[in-house]
Amino acid sequence: MSRILIVDDSRTSRKILRSILEDAGHDVVGEAMDGQDGVNKYKEMRPDLVTLDITMPVMDGLEALKCIREVNAEAKVIMVTAAGQQNKMIDAIKLGASEFVTKPFEPDEIVKMVNKLANN
Amino acid sequence: MINQLFGNYLVKTGALSRDQLERAFETQKKVRVKLGLIAVTEKLMTLEQSEEVNKLQAVMDKRFGDIAIEKGYLTDDQVGRLLGLQGNQYLTFAQAVTDNGFMTLKEFENAFSDYQKALAFTLTDMESLKSGDSDRIVPLFLPNDVDELQKEHVLIAVRTLLRLIDSDAYIGRASWVSSIPAKGVAFQCLAGEKNQDTKVALGLIGEEDGLLRVAGTFAKEEFEKVDLDSLDAVAEFINCINGMFATKVSSKVFLDMLPPIYREENVTVSGGRMLKLPIFVDGNELQLLSTYDGMINI
């Protein structure tokens, strides 16, 4: 079981992700609605893993990823985005993202990815 | 989609009652179209020839296609093609309406000709309609001066709505508007990363029950009213459509997806030259709003 922080400006996405992760036995320790909120909650909660939406107001996912990696260079971060954002995915890889998922969510894919990262 | 489009036309013209249409839709789900009906609607056999083969079938242990070939009415290849059409939505609807005795095949076909005239469609357009293929049907309802990229965007939107929200949804004739009032809106703009000239946007407004159906089905959640929570779900649905669109056009242009925007209050939605496509979900009218070379604003 991993302690997971969900960072996404969409309530719908947060709810769907939470449901998938909790059904798979993981503990969602917090939710954040934008990148800045996500960085603050990461510092406060120190989760095992973060799911981080790329397109968000205030601070986007790439900027938040940079900040989180500054706090913890080993942070495990799964980037979340709609399809069609390959350039941003490449940027996220350069910044140290662990994995990617695209919306709409495929529960099996997400659970496999989280379990794999949890076991590493 | 053709069953919904033509079915509603039949109700509007009084050829069917609303109740008969609903019963025809129910029957349609169970129908396997008879080869004779397909042959007649495809104009490969006359109604008389089809009835003759039907009568022969009653006394011969042979399939319709085999008898039609023996009689020289159809070729092997034609029978093969007709068999491939048995799941076609137009034909299953025709069979459901005639099996229920609501209309004869002749009346059905005449009404379809009237429908063609009412829409000012060509025979080729009607073939596209009968194909049941949304990618062929949707362009018929768009203005002629829609850009190819915008057409692709709208096609992906309708295809995704049919796939994820309501397979029985259907569309109306699209038009250009510069602004439109709405109670509740969700939209998302996309902009070229380096070349800010490329700007497109997609939005959804419309009747409360229609928006709630989109939100509820997409988020797998019951929503009671159009509020920020349900509109967030609609916005996420639009976000998925836009993601597919951005992927599709990525070889031509990179589109940066901006955060979706949604408002629950009364707003005026404007977008310069905005394409408005009516989409009926559970009979509730929604308006798909699409811009090309411009953003949507509120």
Distance from CA of A29 to the nearest CA of B (A): 22
Beta bridge partners of B151: none
Is the pLDDT score of A91 beyond 80? yes
Mutate to test the interface with A, among B195, B230, B245, B247 (most CBs of A within 10 A): B247
What average pLDDT does range B126-144 have in this prediction? 89
Contact A35, A60 (CB under 8 A): yes
Contacts with B240 from chain A: Cβ below 8 Å? 82-83, 103-104
**CA-based R_g, chain B, Å:** 22
Residue B242 belongs to domain spanning? 138-292
Q: Of the candidates A11, A57, A104, which has its C-beta nearest B240's C-beta?
A: A104
Among the residue ranges A110-114, B30-34, B143-147, the one predicted with the least confidence is: B30-34
Determine the pLDDT at residue A105.
Answer: 84
Cβ-proximal residues to B185 (8 Å cutoff; 6+ apart), any chain: B203, B204, B205, B231, B262, B263, B267, B269, B298
Determine the pLDDT at residue B196.
Answer: 58
- The residue of chain B with its CA nearest to that of A12 is B233
Contact A53, A61 (CB under 8 A): yes
- Final residue of a structural domain among B115, B132, B149: B132
Contact A82 B257 (CB under 8 A): yes
Q: How many domains does chain B have?
A: 2
CA angle B8, B14, B15 (to 5 degrees): 80
pLDDT digits (tens, 9 = 90+) for B228-258: 999 999 999 999 899 888 888 887 777 888 8
pLDDT category, B60, cuts 50, 70, 90? low
Contact A84 B245 (CB under 8 A): yes
- Final residue of a structural domain among B132, B151, B171: B132
Contact A57 B259 (CB under 8 A): yes
> Residue A42: exposed, middle, or buried by beta-carbon count in 10 A (0-12, 13-18, 19+)?
buried
Contact B245 A55 (CB under 8 A): no
Q: What is the CATH number of the domain that holds B163?
A: 3.40.1550.10
Distance from CA of B123 to the nearest CA of A (A): 37
DSSP H helices in chain A: 11-23, 35-45, 61-71, 86-94, 107-119
Q: Are residues B221 and B177 in the same domain?
A: yes
- The answer to the question of residue B298 being in a domain is no
Mutate to test the interface with B, among A8, A11, A12 (most CBs of B within 10 A): A12
- The answer to the question of residue B168 being in a domain is yes
- The answer to the question of residue B90 being in a domain is yes
Q: Where are the domains of chain A?
A: 3-112
Q: Are residues B14 and B98 in the same domain?
A: yes
What average pLDDT does range B287-298 have in this prediction? 88
Percent of chain B with pLDDT over 90: 55
Architecture of domain A3-112 in this structure: 3-Layer(aba) Sandwich (3.40)
Is the pLDDT score of A34 beyond 90? yes
Mutate to test the interface with A, among B149, B239, B252 (most CBs of A within 10 A): B239
**What's the ipTM?**
0.79
pLDDT digits (tens, 9 = 90+) for B109-131: 999 999 999 989 998 999 888 88
- The answer to the question of residue B297 being in a domain is no
Distance from CA of B234 to the nearest CA of A (A): 9
